[in-house]
Amino acid sequence: MKHHQQLKITDVRRSDCPFGDRLEDDDFHCNAAGINARGYDLIGEDSDDFALRLAEVNGVDFDDIAITNPINPSLPRYVPTIPNGSGKLFREYTPKYVAVSLSDVVSAKRLQVATDIHARLGVSKRTKVILLGFANDALLERAWPAAERHRIIDEFKKLDLHAIVPPDYSVWANQPHAERLINQKKSMIMYKEMIEAGLPAIPHITWHGRKDIDEHLRFLQRHPDIKAVAMDLQTIGPDSEWRQVVVDLAYFAASVGNDMQCLVAGPSVLSRIDQVIRILPNVTITNSAAAQKAVRKLLLNDDLTSAPIYSVDKTDIMRTNDFVIRTAINTMIAKYTESEQSALGARRLRFVEGVS
């Protein structure tokens, strides 16, 4: 999720704005003029191709996204995210699951897909791989045209993936609202196409405000057989941003059942992991902390701080870092009994209703 930059209101919402029912009351950010993006052109209501880009996704609402046979891959409580070429971390270590970002599987310029994802990552064939749709915006935009994305989806089918999350198209607060809303719809279109191709896809939930969350909730209510969603919290910065995320997660959680599996990418600080677990009882945490620290020969402590340990092999550090994070997550989960989780659900609802 990438919505946490402070919005600067620099223009006036048009009286005929096509997104009135999807915009927060303080969202007047209509135009793309004067906004820079890396490697692609933003879409605003003032863009020459605005109507074409809107028609390309058949409007921004999800009403036309129908999923007849959703796939809900089983997920553990914790999955380490690793980069490609991680073989030195897994010489004598075979984790049951790993996750990898799209940018480590698809080349940025030529959009070539790895032919053997286990070899690309340096892990055993026995390790189950979850592909996360995270990459820079320029790569995602180049992969969006129908011919390219259909080819890439076909190639994903050859990778023996345990689960796949559709691309995380940007939802930054300083983007025009047309860009944000169209990008959310693009991710849902990719989810639909992945499911139709037989891939074990999990829909990606991203938002700028509560009305975006409501649109995702309406989609899930229309599809009660979908029992897994993914969220990207990797770009959350200061505590002030995190506090808003906590409010948003609580709002979402109050409207879905405790059986909804939530694959949450990013949290690696103990206090934030604990808050996510409190709000989302059936959560899977994935982060890159174990691998990033192991590559730099940093060993994680029980509180998830780290210290250098240069005399130990990277595989041993990776194995230990994985164990430390997994133990911390399981310990937090064990704090909440089934009865406490039930009470938590009621408290979540009261909390949300009391938040302005």
Using the predicted structure, report yes or no on whether residue 13 has a pLDDT greater than 80: no
The one-letter code for the residue type at 237 is: G
Do the domain assignments include residue 140?
Answer: yes
User: How confident is the model at residue 342, as a pLDDT?
Assistant: 56
Name 290's Cβ contacts closer than 8 Å, sequence gap at least 6.
80, 300, 318, 321, 322, 324, 325
Residue 2 lies inside a defined structural domain of this protein:
no
Domain range for 316 is 20-46+74-353
88: left (phi over 0), alpha (psi -120 to 50) or beta: alpha
Q: Rounded to two decimals, what is the model's pTM?
A: 0.91
Could you tell me if residue 10 is inside a domain?
Answer: no
In a domain, 124, yes or no: yes
Please tell me the number of Cα atoms within 13 Å of 29 on its side-chain side.
Answer: 27
Render pLDDT for 97-154 as a digit per residue (tens, 0 to 9): 999 999 999 999 899 999 999 999 999 999 999 999 999 988 999 999 999 999 999 9
What pLDDT, on the 0 to 100 scale, is given for residue 340?
A: 59
User: What percent of the chain has a predicted confidence (pLDDT) above 90?
Assistant: 76
- 316-350 pLDDT, tens digit per residue, is 999 999 999 999 999 999 887 554 555 555 555 55
1 found inside a domain: no
For residue 178, the number of C-alpha atoms closer than 13 Å in the C-beta half-sphere is 26
- Residue 356's pLDDT is 38
Mean pLDDT of 181-199: 98
Q: How far apart are CA 305 and CA 321, in angstroms?
A: 11
Q: Quote the pLDDT of residue 338.
A: 57
Contacts of 346 (CB under 8 A, 6+ apart): none
Mean pLDDT taken over the chain: 90
Strand pairing report for 97-101 and 204-205: unpaired
Q: Is residue 223 part of a domain?
A: yes
State pLDDT tens for residues 200-249: 999 999 999 999 999 999 999 999 999 999 999 998 888 889 999 999 99
Q: Is residue 8 part of a domain?
A: no
Query: How far apart are the C-alpha atoms of 347 and 343, rounded to whole Å?
Result: 6
Report phi then psi at 231, rounded to 5: -135, 140
Residue 340 lies in a domain: yes
Task: Tally the domains of the chain.
Answer: 1
CATH for 232:
3.20.20.70
Residue 22 has pLDDT above 70, yes or no: yes
